[in-house]
Structure 1
Amino acid sequence: MNKKLSFLLPAVLALTLAVGIFIGGKLHFYDSPERLFSTNSKKDKLNRLIDFIEYEYVDEINTDSIVDVTVNDILGNLDPHSVYIPKSEMQEVAENMKGDFVGIGVSFRNEKDTITVVRPIIGGPSDQKGIQAGDKIMTADDEILYGKDLANSDIIAKLKGKIGSDVTLGVYRPVEKRFFKVKVTRDRVPIRSVEAQYMLTSEMGYIKINRFAESTYNEFVQSLDQLLEEGAEKLVLDLRDNPGGYLGIAELLADEFLEEGKLILFTKNKKGRIKKAFATKEGAFEGKPIYVLINERSASASEIIAGALQDNDIGTIVGRRSFGKGLVQREMDLGDGSAVRLTVSRYYTPTGRSIQRSYAKGYDDYYQNYMERYLNGELVSPDSIKVADSLRFVTPKGKVVYGGGGIIPDVFVPIGSLDEEKIRNLEASGFFSAFVFDFLEKDRSRFMHYPESEFYADYRVDDLVFEQFVDFVLNRKVRLDFYAHEKLIKTYIKANLAEQLYSPNVGAQVLSREDRMIQEVLRIDTEANLKESAEEQEVPSKS
């Protein structure tokens, strides 16, 4: 052997051994050649940790749950609106945002181990087969459903299915004291985002939208067309408690009120790329008075519409300062049935303001901001709203608007008293709905031949029903001055009766009588009409 080569061989072997030890320390037993020379050590660190736990940890661990926790922790360090959607929740989330689901089309309550129909969804499969409010669903394809203490998720799983599939329901109808079977063909059932539409006055229509789903724009157009046919020359668009949804749907709705070429909003991403959205066509409600209702729970797409109209000097924004969400998310598939909604840009109103409020103090502080607003008086007086001069903007007609934490309305309407808010929370928590359901269960026959219009105009909740509600709530440890707010409580009871007997639309009409914001709109609109009439009657004097 060559002496020089013989001399180098031990050194080469030593170096090879050292490299092997180094590489061995960096690899685990199933690493690929591609990963060997990967420079993304941060990603490798996370993968390694999960692999070590799965293969080496002393106890059996569900590593899927660890991954879920890890993903949530990572997103929790970004912003409050970048969220993880587990595979188990994807279908429900998708249905909610799509605006429909496949099923038999009933709203139900599972009371005393029995499934009772609150009301069939109008036009849905069950409604078409004659299922009525108060019917008891006893069996599905001869499988007994009563007396089993089934969870709502289990009931839904049995009633949902593939589109076009049949399910034979065994139904008991108490008002007729009879049992019968009916075959229902599962179909697409709408989850309506336009939950109410009606004429407030002979010339003013009202539309309430509870979220911005795929179906929302089409629902809105249908509702608006109907109101226009009924003579609507003015519109109240109710976006209170609307958490938002698809940005593109908000753009389409704003387009209905803005002239072609008007800026709706613009977005800016990480790389500074700006994308602008403009009104593109003649909208169905251009040039007509519009009032937009917002509150502290109106967010995202709701704020896009309110901001677009306010910055273009269109309409009147009524209510309280909105939530303050100016971030845009995009849903991204993670490959295993789960997904992440990741913030990819910020949006700005036409004047250039961002209404995103700070989330520097963390998730809990961000979502508890409502209490802070209540304590500092912002929900009671507009003078308590804190604004920064550095975030001051001016609309084309000279109106001053502010960024940095929600849309401040043009007309402020304070929150109700503490007891009034308690009553509102009882409604939101389902207390009124549960009471009315129990009340109807005792004897639905009294309302069987009550016409909808007659109920709306003439029905009065009597004192006996009111006292029954007081007992119902007291038994659930709720305390407030019931008798000081008797009129409001009776209105909520009647509204829930109207919803369960007829439709949510009728219930909303009942509530409008005691709705402070709606009553404020009617007041300022009346003043505007009187002012306009006075101006028209002025005759120039002769010189």
Structure 2
Amino acid sequence: MLKNKSYLLPLFICAALAAGIFIGGKLNFNDSPERLFSTNSKKDKLNRLIDYIDYEYVDDVNTDSIVDVTVNNILDKLDPHSVYIPKAQVEKVAESMKGDFVGVGISFYMYKDTLAVIKPIKNGPSIKAGVKAGDRILVADTDTLYGKKLSSQEIVNTLKGDNKTNVKLTIYRPSEDKIVTLTIKRSEVPLKSVDAFYMINENFGYIKINRFAESTYKEFKEALNSLQEKGIDKLALDLRNNPGGYLGIAEQIADEFLEDDKLILFTKNKSGAIQKAYASKKGDFEEGDIYILINEKSASASEIVAGAIQDNDRGTIIGRRSFGKGLVQREMGLGDGSSVRLTVSRYYTPTGRSIQRSYENGTKDYYQQFYKRYENGELRSADSIKVADSLIFKTPKGKIVYGGGGIIPDVFVPIEGSQEEAWVNTMLDSGFMSFYVFEYLDRNRDIYAETSEEDFINNVNIDEETVDAFLYYAEDRGLQIDLNPYRENLKLHIKATLAEQLYGENAQQQILKDSDPMLRALLHVDDVEGENTIEDVSVEQ
């Protein structure tokens, strides 16, 4: 029988009032300092402290900045890869990992206080509207873009906008010495993660990936399909300087090389729960020879691919020991537009290796350990790589592999040259050379108007006069180093940078390949499958 429980209503009202009084008491800013820290709730303590500063502190304080510092300090106590992403950076980070952005689609310099177009991005809205390399964009709608010392970010913010919205550009075209007006409809512009793909020789393909973004697998498949149509039975996958990205994308790419049901990796979370990822039936390059190129800046998802190939005795890892990141992060929103990438699990290669470097002495020590590789000889000799006996594992075919501190290659390729040569190469790959080449093209762009990409790569040579002009350019800008001993290297980098600005990075990479020690080593490697020691390869230039 149902009973009338209306007599309980006053009790509920009293309970609600009591809860309200309790909550109100917690918001009383007349509490003593002792009461502030008397709560058992760590979260409550932090919230109350921020509230006290907001309402009671003698001076005005930007508590948002205090919260940012607090969050960063908390994450710094966890591990080097749990990071805070402020609201202002979330969109930029998301675009990079998504693989596209909404804009007009140009690469540009701020040249003499004017926005100069290096080149419109392939398949982007600007190239479709008629924007040309070398154009100076003076006005976007009513916003003047010259003579204001605008930062690159301010320029980007002006040119970006909602998808399918128009922006009217007023452009000065030096090649024709005239002003043109173009209306561009903003649209999605790709951010390529596959830098280059081409044929090394008649049956050997090459693909270079710079990160593992949402679009990377699709780009990779397009590159692989194109190379397979040309008849490759060998493939070099270049993951040098690739910092990683999405774990799922790494799994998809590794799957292309592995037979069905081969283990790619497994992860283990805080509770000990294990998740395993296996190769599926969709792999399109399961039988050809595969070579993975890595170096000390290959990390995370790059190491997942290299580890899966190495542990399954599927191919050959060439290069130098990778970075050593074996942690998996998940991005979580914090409710105010900012987010945190929090480490939620560790990943292990198929043999059970964790390749995560120790971070028990904090983030600063963690990165100092990495830079000590340059000092301890590890980058010049495989014998300088120190690995504990407890971290030795064996693949199914008996090859010894190592855990801790990164993926150690099957074929070691030392870093070449003196410190001065390394510095020169860094300078040549920087904006310094790009600025010179842009100015050179501004004067000489017509020379290459009828030159195809293939013809440029195979037949164009840089003369001594152009090298001399670069030397004068460098000296005039205060470069304190004698570059004359590096004239041949200068010719190569001038040509490669010209190719990049005229045709794109694919052409640039093809020009640089013959001077690449690791690619030279690759072509000297037959098959080291089953070897139990690291092969040290030095190739004469």
TM-score w.r.t. length of structure 1: 0.89
Query: Shift in Å at residue 441 of structure 1?
Result: 2.1
Which residue of structure 1 aligns with residue 325 of structure 2? 325
Q: Distance in 1 between matches of 2:66 and 2:316?
A: 49
Partner of 1:342: 342
Q: Please state how far the C-alpha of 1:143 moved relative to its aligned partner.
A: 3.0
2:426 equivalent in structure 1 = 425
1:238 corresponds to: 238
**Amino acid corresponding to residue 450 of structure 2 in structure 1:** H
Q: Distance in 2 between matches of 1:52 and 1:476?
A: 54
Measured against aligned partners, the alpha-carbon deviations of 1:96-138 in whole angstroms (never above 9, x if no partner) come to 0000000010001111111111011111101111211101111
Q: 1:122 to 1:439 in 2, by over 3 A?
A: same
CA displacement 1:193-224 (0-9 Å, x = unmatched): 00101111111111100000000000100110
Q: Is the 8 A contact 2:120 2:132 kept in 1?
A: yes
**Residue in structure 1 matched with residue 494 of structure 2 by the alignment:** 493
In structure 2, the CA distance between the partners of 1:30 and 1:221, relative to structure 1 (3 Å rule), is farther
Unaligned residue ranges in structure 1 (runs of 5+)? 1-21, 529-543
Structure 2: runs of 5+ lacking an equivalent: 1-21, 530-541
Aligned to 1:124: 124
Instruction: Kindly provide the amino acid, as one letter, of the partner of residue 223 in structure 2.
Output: S
**2:443 equivalent to 1:442:** yes
3-state SS, counterpart of residue 251 of structure 1 = helix
**Paired position in structure 1 for 2:365:** 365
3-state SS of paired residue (2:420): helix
2:140 equivalent to 1:140: yes
Q: What amino acid is aligned across from residue 254 of structure 2 in structure 1?
A: A
1:291 is matched with which residue? 291
Tell me the equivalent position of 2:383. Answer: 383
CA contact (8 A) 1:142 1:170 kept: no
CA distance in 1, matches of 2:40, 2:528: 66
CA–CA distance in 1 between the matches of 2:505 and 2:91?
25
In structure 2, relative to structure 1, the CA distance for the partners of 1:352 and 1:143 (3 Å cut) is same
Moved more, 303-312 or 457-466: 457-466
Q: Is the 8 A contact 1:262 1:279 kept in 2?
A: yes
- 1:346-402 deviations in Å (ceiling 9; x for gaps): 000000010000112222222233431111100000011001100000001111000
**Distance (Å, rounded) in 2 between the aligned partners of 1:365 and 1:429:** 28
Corresponding position: 1:44 with 2:44: yes
Superposition pairs of residues 11-30 of structure 1, within 5 angstroms: 28-29=28-29
- Whether the 8 Å CA contact 2:410–2:528 is kept in 1: the answer is no
Query: For 1:374, what is the secondary structure of its paired residue?
Result: coil
Instruction: Figure out how many residues of one structure are paired with residues of the other and give that number.
Output: 503
Alignment-derived partner of residue 189 in structure 2: 189
The answer to whether structure 1 residue 452 and structure 2 residue 426 are counterparts is no
Q: Is the 8 A contact 2:316 2:528 kept in 1?
A: no
Range 449-458 or range 425-434, more displaced: 425-434
> Does the CA-based 8 Å contact 1:318-1:409 persist in structure 2?
yes
- Is contact 2:499-2:505 (8 Å) kept? yes
Shift of 1:428: 4.4
Amino acid at match of 1:382: A
Corresponding position of 1:18: none
Q: How does 1:36-435 map to 2 (within 5 A)?
A: 40-417=40-417, 418-435=419-436
Cα deviation, 1:240-297, whole Å, max 9, x if unaligned, reads 0000000000000000000011000000011111110000114110011011100000
Specify the SS of the correspondent of 2:108: strand
Amino acid at match of 2:265: L
Distance in 2 separating the partners of 1:178 and 1:391: 67
Letter in 2 for 1:195: D
> Structure 1 residue 472: deviation in Å?
3.3
Change (3 A) 1:27 1:167: closer
Task: Give the residue type in structure 2 aligned to 1:449.
Answer: E
Pairs within 5 Å for 1:524-535: 524-525=525-526
Output the CA distance in 2 between the equivalents of 1:390 and 1:527.
Answer: 24
DSSP 3-state at the match of 2:153: helix
The aligned counterpart of 1:473 is 474
Rounded to whole Å, the distance in 2 between the matches of 1:140 and 1:322 is 45
Preserved CA contact (<8 Å) 2:101 2:190: yes
- Residues 242 and 302 in structure 1, CA contact (< 8 A), matched pair in contact too: yes
Q: Residue 150 of structure 2 aligns to a residue in which SS?
A: coil
In 1, Cα distance between the equivalents of 2:203 and 2:116? Answer: 40
- Distance across 2 between alignment mates of 1:435 and 1:138: 22
Q: How far 1:489 sits from its partner (Å)?
A: 2.3
CA pair 342-423 structure 1, distance change in 2 beyond 3 A: same
Give the letter for the 1:439 counterpart.
Answer: Y
SS at match of 2:513: helix
Residues in 2 aligned to 1:399 and 1:368: alpha-carbon distance in whole angstroms:
31
- Give the secondary structure class of the aligned counterpart of 1:200: strand
| Cα distance in 2, alignment partners of residues 509 and 53 from structure 1 | 59
Counterpart contact for 1:198–1:206, Cα < 8 Å: yes
Relative to the length of structure 2, the TM-score reads: 0.89
Q: CA deviation at 1:491?
A: 1.0
